[in-house]
Amino acid sequence: MGMRKVAVVGAGMTKFVRRAQETAKELTWEAAHMALDSCEMTMDDIEAVCFGTAPDAFDGVHLNGEYVSDGAGAWRKPYMRSYVGGGTGVFVPIQGWYHIASGLFDVVMVVAEEKMSSYYPHAQAAFLTIFDHTTERPLKPNLLWIFAMEMNRYMTTYGLTKADIAQVAVQHKRNAANHPCALLGDANITLDDILKSEVLAWPVQRFDVSPVSDGAVAVILAAEHVAKRITDKPVWIEGVGWHLDTTFWTNRDLAYPRYVEYAARMAYDMAGIKEPRKQINIAEPYDPFDYKALHHLEGLQLADRGKAAELYSDGTASLTGNMPICPSGGLLGVGNPIAAAGLMKIAELFWQLRGEAGARQVPGQPLHGLAQAWGDLMQVGTVVIMGR
Amino acid sequence: MTAKIKEFPGISLSEQDFADGKILFNFDKLNGIYAWDTGVGIGSYLASLKNGVILGSRCNTCRKIVVPPRVVCEQCYRPMDEYVPLQDTGTVNTFSLCYVTWDVKRITDPQIPAVIEIDGASPLHGIMHMLGEVDPQAVKIGMRVKAVWKPAEERQGSVNDILYFKPIEED
């Protein structure tokens, strides 16, 4: 297709915390300069910056991309912020990818940041404007409704139990115990802990949900000829895909994320992945809620419909299984600073595929990994496939 | 690389640090007041609700009947052909028992938001509304429900002209 190969050559991130002392700009700077240091680059080497952050409402700052730009290293550079809700963290590296694949730039820095704690009393309320102002908001909805209803439809359609789904939270939070940046890692958490946590909006309970967090992540992308000069272990972006479904979410099949399927098919085609269940060695599906990881694995064609929970019960999804899922700990374990959480998954694949993930390292020298995020009004899927 | 890095940046604060005045902060309230005109499609929907009718719209190309009605079929990307009055009955597609209000207050009697597939619309086409006059533990997906309307003289052309949907017995 005449597109150039693009590699990830460096990555950095801050801790994910419930409330950071650092501002959005400061968090962004910390992650960005760590990513630069990791591949021995400076801002002089960076030709353009792609920035991702979720709704301006969290920060109470209009044009938040421009506001944070000094922390993101954007001064006097081509700079663009992308925003597709929760899908942003995996869309912003796609934006960086086409900056380079097109031949426009050779080296691009991709940064994603979220500072959710500024919103009072709780960032949940900043999401309320995703509901239609005329047909839905007069019902006084809260954000949990939409997830609770989708989860219920998913469970009921396939006859799944709460315990089937809670396995996801257990495993991700246990994995996160080995992530130095994690907010909710817990090596000893049990199924009972999840099932006995406070019921917020049945079937959603407290531990089914990822935490509000502050944090930032950055990666450096380079064209092939530059990447090979910088490192012996470039990790290639082999396929990208994104797709949108209707904003009329009550006119949609809530049990199956068709938009994730189409995004995945676009990425698999580009990457030449014919049999994803055999060829994808690590999957980092988006997991802001435990059922969402399952929902997404099915959309990604990594499990049959209604069968993703079996990957957890039969051990396939574990760190030493055939297809480890969210070895990072995911959003449920590491935390969910929206845009940064998606990019954390890209950073995780970078470290895993290079064999640098420390205690979380997946054995067997994995070849291909997949990261996925999802957002807007539960309607956008973004997918990146990486390999070495 | 994560294996090589010992210390990651990021300083964690707690709510107590704010209460104790250990850190400086600036508190402010933003003012956002809007008057959204309802537009053509949703305007027709609301005007119809005022008359006690749930309105959909039909596309003759894909033959879908959607609800709420809109002026363009997003699938065919052509104008919708006509408005269609639907029934005020339907089937619970999904629901939640919610113990937290929109402003994160805990409540003991749950709110019951639901997606209700409206009779007369295409399969899986519904609206979000509330369920009422029902034991929360008895609500099931697939349950048949009917709208409970405000008295005609109190209706304002709003989704709240329907108070909630309640279960119905059918033969």
Q: In what order do the strands lie in the sheet with B89-95?
A: B126-130, B113-118, B89-95, B144-149, B162-167
Minimal CA separation from B32 to chain A, in Å: 11
Strands (E), A170-314: 199-202, 204-205, 214-223, 235-244, 282-284
Contact yes or no for A125 and B5 at CB 8 A? no
**Rounded distance, CA A347 to CA A351, Å?**
6
Contact yes or no for B36 and A133 at CB 8 A? yes
Residue B2, pLDDT score: 65
pLDDT in tens, chain B (171 residues): 567 777 899 999 998 998 898 999 888 988 889 999 999 999 999 999 999 999 999 999 999 999 999 999 999 999 999 999 999 999 999 999 999 987 778 999 999 999 999 999 999 999 999 999 999 999 999 999 999 999 999 999 999 999 999 999 876
pLDDT one-digit tens code per residue, B115-156 = 999 999 999 999 999 999 999 999 999 999 999 999 999 999
Residue A328 resides in a domain: yes
Minimal CA separation from B79 to chain A, in Å: 16
Q: Report the run of H or E that residue B116 belongs to, with start and end.
A: strand B113-118
pLDDT one-digit tens code per residue, A78-90 = 999 999 999 999 9
H and E: helices and strands count for chain A: 14, 11
CA atoms within 13 A on the CB side of B143: 21
Q: Which of B94, B130, B160 to mutate to test the interface with A (most CBs of A within 10 A)?
A: B94
- Cα distances (Å, whole numbers) of residue A197 to A208, A308, A309: 9, 23, 20
Of B30, B46, B94, Cβ closest to residue A153: B94
Q: Is residue A21 predicted with pLDDT exceeding 80?
A: yes
**Rounded distance, CA B11 to CA B167, Å?**
52
What are the residue boundaries of the structural domains of chain B, listed by start? 41-167
Beta-carbon count within 10 A of B34 CB: 5
pLDDT one-digit tens code per residue, A315-368 = 999 999 999 999 999 999 999 999 999 999 999 999 999 999 999 999 999 999
- Percentage of chain A modeled with pLDDT above 90: 92
User: Which residue type, as a one-letter code, is found at position A227?
Assistant: A
pLDDT one-digit tens code per residue, A260-272 = 999 999 999 999 9
Q: Which residues of A touch B104 (CB under 8 A)?
A: 121-122, 124-125, 142
State the pairing for strand pair A48-52/A107-115.
parallel
Beta-carbon count within 10 A of A76 CB: 5
User: Which residue type, as a one-letter code, is found at position A234?
Assistant: P
Residue A188 resides in a domain: no
| Structural domain containing residue A329 | 6-120+211-387
**Rounded distance, CA B55 to CA B68, Å?**
7
Q: Which residue of B has its CA nearest to A122?
A: B104
Q: Which residue of B has its CA nearest to A355?
A: B1
Residue A200, pLDDT score: 95
Q: Report the run of H or E that residue A189 belongs to, with start and end.
A: none
Contact yes or no for A254 and B68 at CB 8 A? no
Q: Is residue A121 predicted with pLDDT exceeding 90?
A: no
Mean pLDDT over all residues of chain A?
96
Contact yes or no for B94 and A200 at CB 8 A? no
Q: Is residue A93 predicted with pLDDT exceeding 80?
A: yes
User: Domain of A34: which CATH number?
Assistant: 3.40.47.10
Residue A148 resides in a domain: no
pLDDT one-digit tens code per residue, A275-310 = 999 999 999 999 999 999 999 999 999 999 999 999
Residue A303, pLDDT score: 98
Q: Which residues of B touch A159 (CB under 8 A)?
A: none
Residue B102, pLDDT score: 78
Residue A226 resides in a domain: yes
How many domains is chain A partitioned into structurally?
Answer: 1
Give the position of tokens 């207050």.
B105
User: Which residue type, as a one-letter code, is found at position B168?
Assistant: I
- Restricting to A residues 184-203, those with a Cβ less than 8 Å away from any Cβ of B are 199-203
Q: Which residue of B has its CA nearest to A157?
A: B141
